Structure formats: C-alpha cells, structure tokens
Amino acid sequence: MRSPISWRPPATWHFFRSDDRLLLIVAGAIVGICSGVAAVALNQSLIAVLGYLRPYRAYWWAFVLPAIGAALSSLFLNKIMREGAGHGVPEVIYSVSRYGGLMRFRSSFSRLISSCLTIGSGGSAGPEAPIVMSGSAIGSNIARLLGLNDRQRVTLVGCGAAGAISAIFNAPIAGLIFAMEIILGEWAASNLIPIAIAAVAGTEISHLLQGKQIPFSHHKFNIGAVDIAACIGLAVFTALASIMLTRAIRTIHHQADGIQLPSWLKAAGGGCAVGLIGLYLPMVLGEGYHAIREMMEGRFTPGIGLVFLAVLAKIIATALTLGSGGSGGIFAPCLVIGSFAGLTYHRALVFLWPGVDWVQEGCFVLLGMAGLVSGVLQAPLTGIFLIVEITGGYDVILPLIIVSAISTTMCYYMEPASFYLKDLVEKGQLMRPGTDARVLADLEVHELLETDCIAVHTNMLLRDFVDIVKQSRRNLFPVEDHAGQFQGMIYMDDIRPYLFDPLMYDTVLVGQLMNPRVDTVSPDDDVVEVLERMDAEGLFNMPVVANHRFRGMISKSTLLDQYRKELMVQTYHLNR
C-alpha cells in the first residue's frame, strides 16, 4: 500500500534524471545562501563577543580570557557536540576523499559556536576553517535531503565551502578557487558552474546582510622593477615563515596529545599562554585584521624589531591556540603573519638601501599575505585571488604571482604536503578522485571474486580429477577435505606430467598432487595489500579463504578489469 504521506528526493524526479546540471545549480544556490548566512552569523557573533570583551582587556587578569574561551570551546565540542576536535578543513577534505562528502549534521553549526568562543576571547585563530566546515556540512546534508549520489554530494560540499569563503571575505572568485583547488582537488567542468553559483550566492547574501565591504581598503601602488626583483626575497622569507608555522602547530599538537590531561584543560593552558603573549603584544590576539588594516594604510608605528617579534609571536600564539585544542582556522593567522613578514621585509629593505625608491610598505604587506597563504596551503591560485579580492586591486597581480609561485614551490620542497593535507597524506587517507589509491580503495575483495573454480577433494583419484579437468575452463583447482575445509591448490602446470601417464590414474590421489603451501587472501583484506603481495611474489591468482573455506579466486586480470570500470565511473564527470 502506498503511503499517503511520502517524500521522494528530487534526485529521483523524472525531470532531473536525464541531466542533473539544473538540479546542481539550484541546489548550489541554496547551499551558497545557507553557507553565506552561516558565515555572516559567525562574523556578527565574533564582532559582538569581541565588542563585549573589549573593556575587560585592559585589566591585568585579561590573559585568562583566551584560556576561558579555549576551555569552553573544547568542552562544547567534546562534551556537548561530542565531535572529535580538528581544524575543520582537513576533515572536509577527508570526507570528500573517502566518503563521497558525507558529513554529520552537527558539523554545520558546532564549529561556529566553538570558534566564536576561541577567537572572540582572544585566541589566535581565524573563522574561515570553521565556516568552511559549516558550509560544507550544510552542503552535504542538503545533498542527503535531496537524495543525491556521491559525486553530486561532493559538488554541494564544494558549493558550501565556496559560499562560506565568498561570504566571509566578500571574495567570490577566491571562494570558487578555494573549493576547487583545496577541497575537491580537481577542476571538473560539471563542478565549476554550481560552485560558481554558490560563491555568488554567498557573496550576495553577505552584501545583503552586512553591506558591500571589502575587508581591507585598496591603495594605489607604484610598483617598479626593483620592487618586483625584491619580491623574490620576500617569497623566500614568507616560505620560511610558512614552514615555521606549519611545524610549530604540528609540534605543539603532538606535544599536547602526549599530555595526560583533559582536553579542555590543555586548551585552557594554550589559551593562557596566548593571553600572556597578548599582554605584551596585543596585536597577536584574535583574528588580527585590525593590525593588517593599519599596516596596509601605513599607520603601524612599531619599529622593525618589534614587527619581526610580532611575526614570531603570532606563529607561537597560533600554534598554541590551535595545537592545544582551540577551535579555529589558519587562514586569518596566515594573513596576519604574512602582513607582519611583508612589513618586516620592507623595513629591512629601506634600512639596507635607503636611497632606493621603494613602493609603499602596504604593497609588501599585501604580498606577504599572499606568500603565507600560498606557502601554508600550497595553493597559489587561492593565495593570489584572495589577496586581489580582499584588497580590491589588480595592479599588484604580477608581484603576487611571483611571490605565491616561489613561496608555494619552496614550501613544497621543504614540506611536500600542505598544512591541510599533511596528516591525511601521512595516514594514507588522501585519495583524490581518479587517483590510483582512490580507485583501489573503492574496490573490495568480494567484488573481485571469481567463483567458477571447481573444488576437488583430497581423496579423489587422479582418474576422477582428469574428468573434472575436461569440464573445467580453469587451470587451477582448490582442494578441500571431507569437511569442506580448504587444504591447498592444484595448478595444471605443476601436474601436467601426471595427466599424460594413465598408469598414475588409479594410484595417485589429489591430496598427493596439491600444493598445500599456497598464499591465501581473506575477504577482509585490503585490495592494495593483496596487489602488493601478488607483485612481491610474482603471482597472478590467489585463493580467497575465509573460515578455512574456499570462497573463490582473485586474479590480476579481474582486478585490472574492475579497476578500469571504477576509474571510468570516477572520472566520468571530468569529460562532461
């Protein structure tokens, strides 16, 4: 009987079955709007919390504020939301890479609250990673509601990330590129349009709710040839700072993991240390955009020594905040550290060569930001377009490209995986679509089973076995005992001399001919491991045995056949 109240997901509607592009565009716009609203909500909450706490920062005890925020954030994530902590973006990439973008519903709001507590209280982190996670989770859950498949869901996850970045930075192109370059890791035409629509929707929602504003005001820079040449040095400097930041966060994270204390206490310890740094260098607290604005406008008065100290202090503060378990992202700290690095470098140039007509320091601040973002994320396009959009000017595009390209390349040599991908690469969990690892990971032993082998018994006479050979199309035979337990294999090549000797027919038993020492595979084994074993031992077939019973054969030819089919499925959309 058909239910009077039923819900058929739109993905199953006849209208969308033949071509899903329209569905993805509409869904992408919805996801972009929702992510944009989430981004604006986080932004406004942060402004409110920072405004509320500002009067208290003048007190001597203000250093405990980041500790309280980080502890509350950790308690909220672990006790109330029961989410494993993390920066956000790696979790999104992991979900896209391994599980077709499936994400929990709670992830669509949990990080908004926890990061608001961490950053609002003064923790050195940014709101971008949490908002990317929220946007992506919104996309994933909307895809679930619409009954979309894995590929479509991944597109909507990208839409969520693009909408979030676009809304929070008012930068639709950066949002689009961030989603394609970092989250999805592929440039498929079928993804491009929905993600672009989501990015525009996110930006427009931000305009509607917060007004048209770019985070940092644009200034006209007169860039000369000498400035462009000097960019190379800046790129090296930002690359070194990027590596320092990446390693510092990971080191503190691993150290904190080894401490046998509740996670909220560790987060509070990190927050307290950040608060103490903030007493002397208040510019390292929070997301730090205020300091960037001052630097870009040339109003940042501290001398070169203090600015260089700020680079180191911000790196340590960020590592303490994120490494100890605070909730937040690395995007904003990259911008702040990059701007300090750019300013330090510019002032060093002016100090060393005062006679040269250098461009204004705001230009190097901007280039420093691009260098850090590109270096840490190893995503040069994201770095270039983000800086262009958030500063509103294309006149620095040439030095931006130089700094981003060199910084990314240098960082790649020193740390082959970016900050977001390093843990995933180390655990072997980064599997971009269409790659060998991903295709093999999607295959399972039971899918590759060949069950057309005829099992023979140990006490069977060679004469009877010859009859079976006549019927079989295979040249290998599993051997079982009377209880059906696997005993070994007979390979035709091994027994051919016996087959042509009729005298042996009634004297030799199958059990005497079989090879009892064959390597077997379990149905639970990883296909990658099975393939490695086949390669190592020069095998083309292996018997699959479970509970001492023969289940079938696995062969390289079937594996290759399935591999090809899986690859075609995974890369189908790239050709659309």
State the binding string over 424-463 for other proteins (x if CB under 8 A, else -): ---x-x--------------x-x-----------------
- State in angstroms the smallest separation of the CB of 144 from other proteins: 6
Closest distance of CB 442 from other proteins, Å? 12
Q: What is the 3-state secondary structure (H, E, C) of 47-74?
A: HHHHHHHHHHHHCHHHHHHHHHHHHHHH
According to CB under 8 A, which one of 265, 276, 546, 569 is a site residue for other proteins?
546
Q: Which of 189, 229, 255, 257 binds other proteins (CB under 8 A)?
A: 257
Q: Which of residues 78-97 bind other proteins (CB under 8 A)?
A: 82-86, 91, 94-95
> Please, which residue, 426 or 436, has the CB nearer to other proteins?
426
* Residue 260 engages other proteins in binding (rule: CB under 8 A): no
Tokens of 177: 């590129």
H/E segment holding residue 487: strand 486-491
Look up tokens 């020193």; give the residue: 414
The answer to whether 523 contacts other proteins (rule: CB under 8 A) is: yes
Neighbours of 280 (CB within 10 A): 9
Q: What is the 3-state secondary structure (H, E, C) of 277-316?
A: HHHHCHHHCCCCHHHHHHHHCCCCCCCHHHHHHHHHHHHH
Minimal distance, residue 153 CB to other proteins, in Å: 8
Q: Does 1 bind other proteins (CB under 8 A)?
A: yes
Q: Which is nearer to other proteins, 310 or 527 (CB)?
A: 527
What is 518-576 written as a DSSP string? ---B-TTS-HHHHHHHHHHHT-SEEEEEETTEEEEEEEHHHHHHHHHHHHHHHHGGGG-
Residue 172 identity: P
Considering the complex, what minimum distance in angstroms separates the CB of residue 551 from other proteins? 5
Burial of 533 (0-12, 13-18, 19+ CB in 10 A): middle
What is the footprint of other proteins within residues 123-152 (CB under 8 A)?
Answer: 144, 147
Q: Which is nearer to other proteins, 88 or 271 (by Cβ)?
A: 88
Which of positions 320-349 make contact with other proteins (CB under 8 A)?
none
DSSP string, 89-117: HHHHHHHHHHHTT---GGGGTHHHHHHHH
Which structure tokens are listed for 245?
């930041």
Residue number, 304 or 546, with CB nearest to other proteins: 546
Min dist CB 325 to other proteins, Å, is 11
Q: What is the dihedral of CA 324, 329, 331, 332, to 10 degrees?
A: -80
Q: Specify burial of residue 132 (Cβ count, 10 A radius: 0-12, 13-18, 19+).
A: buried
- Pick the binder of other proteins from 40, 103, 180, 341 (CB under 8 A): 103
Nearer to other proteins, 80 or 397 (CB): 80
What is the rounded distance in angstroms from the CA atom of residue 34 to the CA atom of residue 44? 15
CB of 11 to other proteins, least distance (A): 10
Instruction: With CA atoms as reference, report the closest residue to 283 among 308, 249, 254, 248.
Output: 308
For other proteins, give the closer residue by CB, 86 or 202.
Answer: 86
Beta strands 541-546 and 456-457: pairing type? unpaired
Report, in Å, the least distance between residue 429 CB and other proteins.
6
Residue 370: both structure tokens together: 């691009």
Among 12, 459, 485, 547, binds other proteins (CB under 8 A): 547
Shortest Å distance, C-beta 95 to other proteins: 7
156 makes contact with other proteins (CB under 8 A): no
Distance of alpha carbon 173 from the chain centroid = 20
| Least distance from other proteins to the Cβ atom of residue 569, Å | 15
Taking the least distance from each CB to other proteins, the nearer of 6 and 471 is 6
Cβ-based nearer residue to other proteins, 257 or 506: 257
222/547 with CB nearer other proteins: 547
CA–CA separation, 221 and 179 (whole Å): 30
Provide the 3-class DSSP secondary structure of residue 489: strand
Cβ nearer to other proteins, comparing 404 with 562: 562
Buried b (16+ CB within 10 A) or exposed e, 458-483: bebbbebbeeebeeeeeebbbbbeee
- 474 near other proteins (CB under 8 A): no
Site residue total, other proteins (CB under 8 A) = 33
Binder of other proteins out of 57, 106, 438, 457 (CB under 8 A): 106
The least CB distance from residue 149 to other proteins, in Å, is 8
- Of 53-82, which residues contact other proteins (CB under 8 A)? 82
CB of 83 to other proteins, least distance (A): 7
Least CB distance from residue 86 to other proteins, whole Å? 5
Which residues contact other proteins (rule: CB under 8 A)?
Answer: 1, 3-7, 82-86, 91, 94-95, 98-99, 102-104, 106, 144, 147, 257, 427, 429, 444, 446, 523-524, 546-547, 549, 551
